Structure 1
Amino acid sequence: MSAAGVALMLGGAGIVLAASPAQAAEVSYRTECIPPPISGLPPVQGTTKVEITAPAEAKVGDEVEVVWKFVEAASKNPDIIDLEKDTVKPTGTLRAAGAQTADIAMEGSRTNPPIPKNSPMKLSDMKGKVKLTKAGEVTLTPDAYNINVSKPMSTDTKCTPKETVKAGATIKVSDGGGTSGGTSGGTSSGGTTSGGTTTSGGGTTSGGPTSGGTSSGGTTSGGGDGGRSDFPGKEVAVTFACKSPGPASINSKVTINAKKNGGSYDLVVKTAKGVMNSPAALPAGALKPSMAVLLGGVDKGTVPVTGPANKDPLEQGKPVDLPDMTGTYKPGASGKSTLSPGTLTIDVTLGGQKIGIPCTVKGSAAVSLELDTAAQPGGASGGDSSGGTTSGTTSGGLAQTGAEDNGALRALALVAGTVILLGGAVFTFTPWRRLRGTR
């Protein structure tokens, strides 16, 4: 019996199961792959060829391992960027039917050779486990799968069958009169990861230091403004969790300052200087930050603040400063109101298409500023955006982060470059020529 013909499973009780000789069958099916949203590209049609390996026979109670081998992915790596070694990871779903039904989570390792431009994708084998609970024939059929690319940023390409897929393997399950080892639970964990996180800076702060904002004028003494007009906030550290294609998490430092303007307050949200080196060329007006400042204390809701787009082109390798973001806070309640960093978004606009990368605060955001407020007609107090207007010159802004950490903002600059838009759109081929033409 060859090594490939035996499925060896080490059960939770330390028992080794020897199943019958394995059988492998190749199956192909029409596939539609959706590039990551950052690319702005249409779906790609292709053919996926896989080989499913599983034991030919087993007994009720056995937990067996199945292997999904990619014979051919749906398309080549586009003629834009070389994918680095060990940056591509597949995950997917294998469907069991017949004597028992189950979704088997399949997961591959992030191991691949360098994949040059315009060359076939090289994806690692995916593996999963299923515990057999009923006698009879169990068929195994490949279903949807996901390709994650971790560099230059974490992106996902989702692929689904566009036709009925034939079974790739069949297991004949006999009634063994009990279990013969094996672990409980039918699927392996992690099969649906959208991972490939590329955090930098560690992401170790969660909400930053104190929650009071008591230093350097960060709070007003009770009973009103006392004639003051300027209210400097306190710099606080925040960890943001970003959605793909952004990084998994980033660290940011944010300061919220206020200036009294009648019954309202003009807000200025500042971030660190030189938060990153631009890894790609970015045209003027392509990147715009904004943030939803969180209200607390007696007041509720958020205040939108927006920064202007970059005035000058950003050069590859040169430091990038994020602009200050401004907005107006109109109090909706009287008493002590707090202001904290909230959801961050970066808008990148290229070729008439806007792409937003939202990043939400992990845990509780630290308070940067506390104000003694007096309720104003039409003020916040539970609304989504107190004050209702932003004072900046930009329009349609997204939440901004002021990150000091290179990781997230590096990803944002990467996003903006047409070359980097490839990111994880590893299944996109022809449409890239159109993008290069517009650049």
Structure 2
Amino acid sequence: MRRRVTPARRTGAAGTALLLGSAGILLGLAAAPAQAAQVSFATHCVPPAGISPVDGTTEVAVTAPATAKVGDTVDIVWKFLQAASKNPDIIDLPANSVQPSGVLKAAGAQTGDIDLQGPRQNPPIPKGAPMVLSDMKGTLKLTAPGEVTLTPDAYTVNAMSTDTKCTPKETVQKAATIQVTAGGGGSPSPSPSPSPSPSPSPSPSTSAPTSPAPSTSASGGSGQTVFTGKEVQVPYACKTPIGDKSATSPVQINARKNGGSYDLIVQFKKSVMDSPVDIPKDSVKPSMEVVVGGADKGTVHVEGPTNAQPVKSGTPIEIPDLTGTYKPGASGTSTLAPGVLTIKALGTTTTCTPAKSEVSLTLDTTGQPGGTAGGTSSSGGTAAGGTTGDAGGLADTGSTTHGPLKALGLVAGTAILLGAAVFTFMPGRRTR
């Protein structure tokens, strides 16, 4: 049986709908919902020296309240829909290594710069992939009634302690508008509330180098097992992922007799640098080709293990001594000098070649079958320069356990900016 709806019931339902609709309108006015507007603009980005500038398009969405009153402090969000460039095909960026900061221009009823900043929060960004930047946030205190427009301006991408600065190449359209009504508490001038600026990159710790330890020439007489080389200043010319660099590093080569061969220990003794970034474990690997001269000819490969522990930003990079074995290929007076140094870090390779040869250790050698004469060798050795020590360890080297150096000296650290590995070469403090 169909139920009859009376006019009274129709009137009641209509009244209820009208009341609900009115309440919705009132709630909407009270909430002053935020608006999000999208704009895009041509952008010119300048990374640190050594990396080419990038031109691209930035797309952002800016969220701000549609209405507010004088005296209110409103929250503003800048969301990146597209950064101006992708991560170059050089290196993967690890998670949480990129932080954006930027400026919105306020105009209309009040003018000023609104500083915004996002957290250092991003997923891993592979080589060649789009950059993923966190949302930037800031606040603005409203000081005058009327219409306030918000327009994106310059922004900075801080990736593992290095900055790329991006500026618009064209007039940018406004991204949001706030209708400000009269209210209490307004100040006569605009007062944007800035977010804190990104922390500056860690500075290298430096101190005056001490004089090289003196070297005593030894003849390699009967019973001598340990030979200490002198510390030499090696001028390196380096090929890095971002161009040519140069640095001078103190290096010392020591040897220990082992049958007919000699165990070599190469030490980088000074020029310590604090890492400007967090470096994961097992990500820095140094090696060298020690040059054999004089009566013998060839090279001896020495290397150190990768860093066993992560290196925190602002702390020294721990790298052990480089070791290898030298088997003499000829009899006579032979020399050992630091040669080509190779540093592999976070997927990049830097190769450093001495601008001139600096002999650290002179040895009286006796040729062995399969020795280095005329070629290279992963084993080797002759010994005739240095200071005699006990058979149990090196004498006067400052390291009897082959313990780790504070840093390799040439590598100040690996700072990654939009995927490009940047090696900075600077002197530092003595490690021993």
Query: Given the two structures, how large is their TM-score scaled by the length of structure 1?
Result: 0.45
Query: Given the two structures, how large is their TM-score scaled by the length of structure 2?
Result: 0.46
Question: Which has more radius of gyration?
Answer: 2
